Amino acid sequence: MRRRLAALLAIVALAIVALAMSSGASSATGLPRIVSMNVCSDQLLLTLADPEQILGLSRYARDGWQSWAADKARHYPILSGGAEDVLVLKPDIVLASRFDKRSTRELLKAKGLHVAEFTVPRTLPEVKDQIREMGEVVQHPDRAKAEIARLDAAIARARETVTGKHYRVLPLSRRGFVSGRDSLVSSLLTETGLLNPAGDLGIAFGGFTSLEAIVSLRPDFLLVSETGDRAEDNGRAFLLHPALQHFYPPDKRIVIPERLTVCGGVMLAEALDVLTAELKRVGR
């Protein structure tokens, strides 16, 4: 009963927001009013749209672990993930991932809403295409062009740092998960002149491998998402195994926070600058 009451109150609150924004600046200027149902589209929307265009964001928008734009997201309503609160807001456009719940997307379409569906990019060229597409959706293509230029500049800085070096960098996460040669993280590395040796482990998109396989592979560096010497669970303990720490102490680990690589978007410019700084640190 309490959960149902809380959900009802949330929908009422969103209805008030919708009423307040229905006469806002975005309506007056003819720009589309938009909601986002996915943490990755949240971040593109927050970067490229006018604040008045944003009616609501996904339930993970304020999660600092997943979202690079979590602080910005605190200024906007958060959606439940269902269709009801989206329908109450009556947006002109709904942003969704093709991995979001299909029944919800189909219901919104059946109700006459325009659902713009985005794929998960696996390469930097695909990321740029998606930034352009979002720029068209929010009707600010100039901002998209500027973000792509910022991304290209970050790529150039990273390439300059890597020139003449032939580092093999293995992206490694909890429990021994490796981002494969066809992943977005791998594209980030190869675009700058680095090599992801995951293919030697037979890993294309992503998969788990053993401690022994990593040690035998002998990459020059590991790419991880965090530092520290505390293991709060077994997944984290894998990265702190004595053997792995022996061969890959801090000066053999490149650290890029996960919130900078979990989505393909404008945050990758910052990820590349972090990569550049880390390469300078470990390459001394």
How far apart (Å, rounded) are the C-alpha atoms in residues 185 and 223?
A: 10
Superfamily of domain 148-282: Nitrogenase molybdenum iron protein domain (3.40.50.1980)
Burial (CB count within 10 angstroms: exposed 0-12, middle 13-18, buried 19+), residue 30:
exposed
Determine which helix (DSSP H) or strand (DSSP E) holds 177, and give its type and residue range.
Answer: strand 177-179
For residue range 19-53, list pLDDT tens digits in order: 444 444 455 568 999 999 999 999 999 999 999 99
Give the per-residue pLDDT at 27.
54
Helices first, then strands: H and E counts in the chain:
13, 9
Determine which helix (DSSP H) or strand (DSSP E) holds 8, and give its type and residue range.
Answer: helix 2-21
Burial (CB count within 10 angstroms: exposed 0-12, middle 13-18, buried 19+), residue 223:
buried
Q: Is the dihedral of CA 98, 103, 109, 114 positive or negative?
A: negative
**Residue-range domain boundaries for the chain:** 2-119, 148-282
- Minimum mean pLDDT range among 9-13, 69-73, 222-226: 9-13
2-119 and 148-282 share one CATH topology?
Answer: yes
Give the per-residue pLDDT at 15.
46
For residue range 59-68, list pLDDT tens digits in order: 999 998 889 9
For residue range 260-273, list pLDDT tens digits in order: 999 999 999 999 99
Give the per-residue pLDDT at 213.
96
Residue in 147, 185, 108, 178 with CA at minimum distance from that of residue 269: 147
Burial (CB count within 10 angstroms: exposed 0-12, middle 13-18, buried 19+), residue 17:
middle
> Do residues 111 and 53 touch, judged by C-beta distance below 8 A?
no
How far apart (Å, rounded) are the C-alpha atoms in residues 254 and 170?
A: 10
Domain 2-119 listed as CATH 3.40.50.970: no
